[in-house]
Structure 1
Amino acid sequence: MVFKSIASTGLLALSATQFAAGVLADAPTCPKDTPLSCSTSSEQASCCFNTPGGSFLQTQFWDYDPATGPSNSWTIHGLWPDNCDGTYEQFCDSSREYSNITAILKDQGRTELLSFMNKYWKDNSGDDESFWEHEWNKHGTCINTIEPDCYTDYTAQEEVGDYLQKTVDLFKTLDTYKALAAAGITPSTTKTYTLSEIHDALAAIHDDFAPYVACDGDNLNEAWYFYYVRGNLITGEYEPSEKLTQSNCPDSGIKYVPKSNGQESTCPNRR
């Protein structure tokens, strides 16, 4: 698995300018024998151990009506710290809830990140900024290893940029569209697929662990890839893991609807 060694650097999509500026330079580096998240219930929360949210989900959308993002790519939903039993905390720190994500990223010089988000992290109602704010405020504030005290030279909102960058970095390693296409699963108005076929195709890019996939009726529209993390969320090692949620898709007859220009969304409410 190539990804684990790359992800442990926490620098997958950073430009040379950002690296030189010290982005992530003060995020904790943890001992190699740090326990894997969810591996023990006795480990106390620290900047090197994620708890209670020790199962991390890189989540993606296939928005087809109305369509969002490129026609040959899924789009980002978020990065969620779920508890080890499939439950989750939410909106954990009201003092760090923000409504100016674009401004935060510009102030941090993360223009490449912002450009990528504008293309691949899309809201199905057209309000990308509010979507990003929601994901940080609801999920990002619940990650204990990126709290301000975990930084050695903390600057305001540093963890926000780090969280969004990590979400994008993970997304770039999980090309759901390409993985499905490699297995002959392509958007179609006539073809249908089985849940087993979809699971097998996506397990091929996730160390043989099938992600959770969701459907709106019979129509495929979400994928959640599960990980455990050894160490800090930003600098730690990500290990693919078994999904903790079972699909709501039927066993067969699943449609993979091509993206359209429809005006009414048929997708369910977002988490």
Structure 2
Amino acid sequence: MASLSAPTLLTLQWVLVAITMGSIWMIEEVDGSGGIGRQHREFDYFKLALQWPGTFCQRTRHCCSSNACCRGSNAPTEFTIHGLWPDYNDGTWPACCTKSNFDEKEISTLRSALEKYWPSLSCGSPSTCHGTKGLFWAHEWEKHGTCSFPVVQDEYSYFLTTLNVYFKYNVTKVLSEAGYVPSNTEKYPLGGIITAIQNAFHASPELACSKGSVQELYLCFYKDFKPRDCAVGSNIGLEMINSKSSCPKYVSLPAYVSSGLDGVEMNSFMDA
């Protein structure tokens, strides 16, 4: 039997290590200029990022048709979707994993649901992975959705899957049933909010706050979309500290109220 060369042995050793560590499916990351960047291994879990519109919309200084904060009585009054993000257990994440450009026609049948539950809360056009500006949805698909393979196969599936997970794990309903409702006067215990979600989904969320108000809330899932703690192993304590470092012990869930911006008459966020 012929002996293996040193390079061949090194290659076999690398493959064995990779198999031991887990899946070795590799994805190409596309940088902002459209060129091929470094490669990434398959992600470890999903993070569903949700936005509290009352906190975001308080920053609104002018209105436009793309900003859901400008819809008056039809403005969102519950958590809306920021994105579904493939993440790694070490706190990093893959981004811009293929050259798949966002195609709005692919999600035309989902548009009404996306406008309501996954709207943009600003008038800006975020950057895409190809050095251009585009819709909020384009940014989320190109930066995060393209990294969700092999669980999610294409653009349509990414948006539909995210909507389904959002509906199934209805954070706004859970908090409302626990007595945590939008208010510009009440403050709620952070620990109570976390406990309510833990009791409902049997997993720990993460929260981020801005000036004492809940800004974003994150739910985490295994690849089969069963809930899991957002923190991992020895990081559980650290992640909870991080949540509390940006959120005080008592937090607000503000209801956005405006009498009109840039000539657009706007009603209370609570009118809907």
| Same-fold call, TM cutoff 0.5 | yes
Out of 116, 119, 124, the position equivalent to 1:122 is 119
Q: How many Å apart are 1:249 and its aligned residue?
A: 3.4
What residue in structure 1 maps to residue 236 of structure 2?
Answer: none
Out of 74, 77, 93, the position equivalent to 2:79 is 74
In the superposition, relative to structure 1, how do residues 71 and 139 fare at CA in structure 2: closer, same or farther (>3 Å)? closer
- Structure 1's unaligned 5+ residue stretches are 1-39, 149-158, 230-236, 265-271
Q: How many Å apart are 1:126 and its aligned residue?
A: 4.2
Q: How many Å apart are 1:205 and its aligned residue?
A: 2.7
CA distance in structure 2 between the partners assigned to 1:54 and 1:76 by the alignment? 21
What residue in structure 2 maps to residue 43 of structure 1?
Answer: 22
Structure 2 residue 47 is the aligned partner of structure 1 residue 57: yes
Cα deviation, 1:138-164, whole Å, max 9, x if unaligned, reads: 00111230586xxxxxxxxxx100011
What residue in structure 1 maps to residue 107 of structure 2?
Answer: 105
What residue in structure 1 maps to residue 100 of structure 2?
Answer: 96
Out of 208, 215, 220, the position equivalent to 2:209 is 215
CA distance in structure 2 between the partners assigned to 1:168 and 1:44 by the alignment? 27
Cα deviation, 1:29-73, whole Å, max 9, x if unaligned, reads: xxxxxxxxxxx96222459xx953111011111112246475442
SS in 2 for 1:205: helix
Aligned counterparts, 1:254-269, within 5 A: 254-261=251-258, 263=261
- State the TM-score, normalized to the length of structure 1: 0.65
Higher relative contact order (CA closer than 8 Å, sequence separation 6+): 1
Q: How many Å apart are 1:216 and its aligned residue?
A: 0.9
The residue identity in structure 1 corresponding to 2:213 is: N
Q: How many Å apart are 1:114 and its aligned residue?
A: 1.8
Q: How many Å apart are 1:97 and its aligned residue?
A: 2.5
- Structure 2's unaligned 5+ residue stretches are 1-18, 27-39, 61-67, 126-133, 232-238, 263-272
In the superposition, relative to structure 1, how do residues 191 and 147 fare at CA in structure 2: closer, same or farther (>3 Å)? closer
CA distance in structure 1 between the partners assigned to 2:24 and 2:159 by the alignment? 22
Out of 238, 249, 259, the position equivalent to 1:252 is 249
CA distance in structure 1 between the partners assigned to 2:142 and 2:97 by the alignment? 8
Q: 8 Å contact 1:56–1:226 — kept in the other structure?
A: yes
Q: What is the root-mean-square deviation of aligned Cα atoms in Å?
A: 2.7
Structure 2 residue 229 is the aligned partner of structure 1 residue 242: yes
In the superposition, relative to structure 1, how do residues 91 and 189 fare at CA in structure 2: closer, same or farther (>3 Å)? same
SS in 2 for 1:86: coil
Structure 2 residue 168 is the aligned partner of structure 1 residue 173: yes
- State the TM-score, normalized to the length of structure 2: 0.65
Q: 8 Å contact 1:226–1:243 — kept in the other structure?
A: yes
In the superposition, relative to structure 1, how do residues 119 and 43 fare at CA in structure 2: closer, same or farther (>3 Å)? same
Q: Tell me which structure has the larger Cα radius of gyration.
A: 2
How many residues are paired up? Answer: 197
CA distance in structure 2 between the partners assigned to 1:41 and 1:197 by the alignment? 40
Name the structure with the higher helix share: 2
CA distance in structure 2 between the partners assigned to 1:166 and 1:147 by the alignment? 8
Cα deviation, 1:184-231, whole Å, max 9, x if unaligned, reads: 111111111121011012223322x121111112011211101111xx
